[in-house]
Chain A
């Protein structure tokens, strides 16, 4: 066990954990931030996606020892009141079915729009390829991303 100083959702925190513990489990078990989901543990499904310095990363493959001073944002920290344009677009399109994968989908989509404010269909498909939705809400996810892109540029 070792102590790590990390910055999660704008807060400086200290956690005591095995250095190999993936960020996913630090978030879920140590910090009780359970919005980030466990889906596969091998970076194949995207349910655990968070932002590290603004980029989408799979928290299940990120040992806590490598997080260091990078700023981590989770679904809980994406916006104060749940009113990020991507979250609003998700609600407008009523995207979720079971909803389990959606936090990861939203985090990947948000990172995409940050680096590419007007993504084409192909851009969206490529960026979202790593996020599985077993319920099959892909068409709505794409529509919501386009709505969010529009509202951000408005």
Chain B
């Protein structure tokens, strides 16, 4: 067993009584809990209400035990659909050795004294929470055992635990967790605890249903947009129509008299002298605000409000393209997608900052018998969470109460502290379940806006973005461009590899990922262009483009080399494992190879039946490895995706069916964005503002089936929310080539598919 110190850097094990009275908004006194009941010989599932205890006893900040044995486990991290609200408490429950049917889960409030990293992002919640969650459960279990041993007047080593029942076998006596909870809560936290061996897991590795599932399918209030208070007003914003513009003036008189309207004014969300957090990225700072009684009334007033905007003066400037180049005069500051494309193509053809160089790539290309060069691009993307941005705020003279969907509550608290001057202890942020995140809710400007509006009104308000506000006030996925070059000798051996990657306004390059380490002569270059369009993290940042591009290029390269695309990758990985080039390679070639081999076996790769077009892809990101094979055909120029087979190595899988759901979702999401989605701009104006023009994947376009296989290797959990998303774009492009005879280089592929002329293999 692993013995771990509980005291080292683990604030969470300081017993905390503050949790009990911290005013949880999302209180649960009702629980949908699954229990199997015997009924006339037929086993069926029945949902029963758990009886709540009369008294709770806190054993540490993560959990409390009731006198009747019911256990509340606090889920520390924000829930955006990645299912941590179920899987994080499962990890605690495992080490606590409690019956999962006796567990109530509550969303923990933001509390940095107890919890570390209350953030949804980077596929890190389970990975970074793993040890702390286990120790929380194990510590409490240990305390319950010590208390039971005392009561039974035996030594702890004579006791066993199963599902919350402590047993002394020799005397055939038992003590329930509930019976001993009070005594246990009065003990000191042990200095050392033992964690279970993986072999002894009873909950981890078994599929458990979403703890909010029943509330979701019955329409219970769960989301920020569902928040309601008696005296609450609704607020909406009006923003400039174009990036590069700013608020100038408005005529609010007419609107102020409209039915249900309470006030119209402007706010400056982030004054220039405010020190911003990284999470304070926002499209616009100065906004017109309309406050009223109901959402519909405010929406009508927003439509009628006359606002004038003018050019932002600091955007009338020269945009530098690398320091050495002449620069382009961006006279208006109003950007367009067409211009972005030509700028990226120009700079992508030039030399850029060298990030990694192995061997002598210039010589390899000079001596090559054949050079293959291909360029790939992708557009900006809007996150399009199904629940538009919103937040509830109640700012009084004494305190700030905030309630809603936020991926970064800890940073938001700091932003409020800086913006409104309240002390951190007077700022209370509560997290609701989120109707999607995908990175968009890392940027909490809407929370700050809500707080500033509430302070101005002196009343509780709920800020609501319309879909149009949400889509055009984005923190978008950047546009990227990458050119790959491969040098082949006369025997079609790969002798050199060159990647030149950049974007607006960041480069998607990961210089030390595969195929770095597998090629003797390797060159990676990086560049970036300025923009005034707000950008940020979007599910698997940078990987969400470069994976698909790289995997498409490798597919084309394998064809040029006359090799099977999987075998070619495996051979390269073998090279990287046995005789790696360079020292900074940041992937494990053997784990990479395992997912490729697994997906090859499970998909019956050698089956190349007529009419079946198959594409393969594999990628490593967020500490996990994913390989996918996509099977498709064309039906009247429409892609029909029959099946996707996924092999995933994310270490130990906590909740297998939910993990499978995540892989399925990432796969559908990746196909959708590569195939259909784009956010384009004309003179700074977003050209898509709702789902009539912004195309998201729909039911009939999704794969008919998705098979998911996890590698079982007992390694501590790694990321899962993001890793299945990037590689599928490559598998899709490669399958599309087999299905149509055309290579696809520019996302969304639907444009190239419909153009019918471009990108013939060559």
Contact = CB atoms under 8 A, between A and B. Distances in A.
A90 to B, nearest CB: 5
Contact of A97 (B217, B300, B466, B661): B661
Given A94-B658, A136-B672, A37 B665 contact: no
B269 to A, nearest CB: 23
Contact of B387 (A97, A100, A129, A132): A100
Interface in A100-144: 100-103, 106, 121, 124-126, 128-142
Contacts of B669: 134-136
Contacts of B83: 97
A95 B213 CA distance: 8
A94 B209 contact: yes
A154 interface: no
B218 A97 contact: no
A37 B387 contact: yes
A30 interface: yes
A98 B217 contact: no
A28 interface: yes
B218 A75 contact: yes
A7 interface: no
A70 interface: no
Contacts of A106: 217
Interface residues of A, number: 64
A32 B226 CA distance: 9
Contact of A136 (B234, B295, B667, B690): B667
Given A34-B219, A37-B386, A94-B209, A100 B435 contact: yes
Nearest to B234: A29
Contact of B216 (A18, A45, A81, A99): A99
Contacts of A74: 219
B690 A103 contact: no
A75 B700 CA distance: 24
Contacts of B657: 94
A83 B47 CA distance: 9
A39 interface: yes
B219 A28 contact: no
Contacts of B2: none
B265 to A, nearest CB: 22
Given A42-B692, A91-B213, A98-B434, A129 B218 contact: no
B259 A1 contact: yes
Most central of A83, A100, A131 by chain B CB within 10 Å:
A100
A29 B294 contact: yes
A40 interface: yes
B219 A75 contact: yes
A82 B217 contact: yes
B28 interface: no
Most central of A25, A128, A138, A140 by chain B CB within 10 Å:
A138
B205 interface: no
A22 B434 contact: no
Contacts of A130: 698
Contact of B218 (A17, A39, A41, A87): A87
Nearest to A26: B296
A98 B219 contact: no
B447 to A, nearest CB: 18
B692 A44 contact: yes
A39 B435 CA distance: 10
A34 B297 CA distance: 17
A71 interface: no
Contacts of B691: 39-40, 42, 44-45, 132
Given A98-B436, A139-B705, A30 B294 contact: yes
Given A35-B219, A125-B699, A134-B696, A94 B387 contact: no
8 contacts: A47-B386, A75-B217, A82-B214, A83-B47, A99-B212, A103-B219, A135-B669, A139-B706
Interface of A: 1, 17-18, 21-22, 25, 28-30, 32-42, 44-45, 47, 74-76, 78-79, 81-83, 87, 90-91, 94-103, 106, 121, 124-126, 128-142
Given A35-B218, A37-B387, 17 more contacts: A38-B295, A81-B47, A82-B32, A91-B217, A94-B209, A94-B213, A98-B81, A98-B385, A98-B433, A100-B435, A103-B219, A128-B699, A132-B386, A136-B667, A139-B703, A139-B706, A140-B661
Q: Which 8 A-B pairs have the closest CB atoms?
A: A35-B219, A100-B435, A136-B668, A98-B81, A75-B219, A97-B81, A99-B216, A138-B702
